[in-house]
Homo-oligomer: A and B are copies of this chain.
């Protein structure tokens, strides 16, 4: 039984892995999908859980998190609408490698994992496009490693903010506002530092007019300066 009225084809027809497909194919894919809403804070899937489904985020923002034995959390990435997630089957895993949590209210579509093979086999371009996604995520991960291994905290935080601002912002009079709730703690979990250090950095940047920030909110007011901080800052501004 379809949980809602039949889903609109335009929902996914423009999204990379589906872009090249025929209307009929899209129809088929949508008919096999289950839509589901998650409210802010809800877990979409958990690390180590058997990967029984793969997901497409249609609306909202999702945080992908890993937790160490010692209890520290690390934010691996943020998923924005139009992205696939939980695509463990693509990489021969039977278990999710991380947890996904809805940051704000989210709308997702999901399919049972066993359909993955079918999609890959049946829909031309789907495999190529999703493997490209996988490739991008590997690159991201490797860049993250490079950063953690070679850069100072300030640069790492600047880069993290820059990426978020570019990936998912809303334009306001003040500047580019990161369009989902983001705490100092969150930023520290993305960059391998502490919330205190992030707070100090943001305060300093606010004085220099690079950002404006509030409770769970960050606005980049001077993208250029932030970029300078992110690219190996030639010299520390006084």
Q: Mark A60-82, 1 if CB is under 8 A from B, else 0.
A: 00000010111010101000000
A135 to B192, CA, bound (A): 24
A174 to B128, CA, bound (A): 49
Query: How many copies of this protein are present in the complex?
Result: 2
Interface: A196 (CB within 8 A): no
A3 CB to closest chain B CB, in angstroms?
Answer: 31
Interface: A119 (CB within 8 A): no
Interface: A134 (CB within 8 A): yes
Chain B residue nearest in CB terms to A150: B72
A4 to B162, CA, bound (A): 52
Q: Is the CB of A90 within 8 A of B138?
A: no
A230 CB to closest chain B CB, in angstroms?
Answer: 11
Chain B residue nearest in CB terms to A140: B141
Q: Mark A28-70, 1 if CB is under 8 A from B, else 0.
A: 0000000000000000000000000000000000000010111
Which of B141, B144, B148, B232 is close to A70, meaning CB atoms less than 8 Å apart?
B232
- Name A residues whose Cβ lies closer than 8 Å to a Cβ of B: 66, 68-70, 72, 74, 76, 88, 90-93, 97-98, 128-129, 131-132, 134-135, 137-139, 141-142, 144-146, 148-150, 191-192, 231-232
19 pairs, A vs B, C-beta closer than 8 Å: A70-B150, A70-B232, A72-B150, A74-B146, A74-B150, A76-B145, A88-B135, A91-B131, A91-B134, A91-B135, A91-B138, A92-B128, A92-B129, A92-B135, A97-B138, A141-B141, A141-B142, A141-B145, A148-B149
